[in-house]
């Protein structure tokens, strides 16, 4: 059964300054993440509200799986 829900950007790229620190799922910079979304390398976001952007958990999990398979892990 696939997880349902959303990740905000800090859940994906991490935030070491948060208390407690949030580890990165995909360790890239915020700019690299947004550039990857624009180029189609990373999944498209979902607007939850005017000021709230998120990514589906399933989309991020699928991306991590594909990156792991490409790296031979």
What tokens does 69 get?
């398979």
Digitized pLDDT (tens) for each residue of the chain, 73 residues in all: 457 899 999 999 999 999 999 999 999 999 999 999 999 999 999 999 999 999 999 999 999 999 888 776 5
What tokens does 21 get?
């620190």
Q: Domain extents for the chain?
A: 6-71
Q: Tokens 């999944």 identify what position?
A: 43
Q: Are 3 and 61 in contact (CB under 8 A)?
A: yes
Separation of alpha carbons 11 and 22, rounded Å? 7
């Amino acid at each position: 059964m696939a997880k349902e829900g959303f990740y905000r950007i800090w859940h994906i790229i991490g935030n070491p300054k948060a208390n407690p620190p949030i580890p990165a799922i995909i360790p890239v910079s915020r700019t690299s993440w947004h550039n990857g979304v624009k180029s189609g390398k990373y999944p498209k976001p979902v607007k939850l509200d005017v000021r709230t952007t998120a990514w589906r958990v399933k989309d991020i999990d699928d991306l991590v799986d594909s990156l792991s398979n490409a790296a031979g892990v």
